[in-house]
Amino acid sequence: MSTRPDATILAYDPFGEPAEVVRGYAMTPGDRRARNAAVAVFWSLALLLTAGRVYLGDQPVAQQVASVQAQVASLITAVR
């Protein structure tokens, strides 16, 4: 075993599979869960934005602007 702080140490996770530990830090299940949640949120947002662009890309810009103006106007009248 090396005494260098950046040495890679081979360890095993709870299922008996090898897991690398760098600088004495192993990923805990909470870290893995958080990383997986962040990846899911990122790709969901990416798909949502892409689908929105594809869906709204079929309409002419003038129609989109008129639609947004109508929605804003109805929102303002609903708030008053």
**Structural domain boundaries, residue 46:** 28-79
**Does some domain include residue 7?**
no
Q: What is the DSSP letter of 2?
A: -
Question: How far apart are the C-alpha atoms of 40 and 52, rounded to whole Å?
Answer: 18
Phi first, then psi, for residue 4 (nearest 5°) are: -70, 145
67's tokens = 């639609």
Asked if residue 1 has pLDDT above 50, the reply is no
Amino acid at 50: T
**Does some domain include residue 42?**
yes
pLDDT tens digits, residue range 30-59? Answer: 688 888 999 999 999 999 999 888 777 776
Asked if residue 26 has pLDDT above 70, the reply is no
Asked if residue 63 has pLDDT above 60, the reply is yes
Start-end of H helices in the chain: 29-56, 61-79
The answer to whether the predicted template modeling score (pTM) of the entire model surpasses 0.75 is no
**Does some domain include residue 6?**
no
**Does some domain include residue 4?**
no
Q: How many domains does the chain have?
A: 1
**Does some domain include residue 10?**
no
**Does some domain include residue 36?**
yes
**Does some domain include residue 40?**
yes
CB 24 within 8 A of CB 9: yes
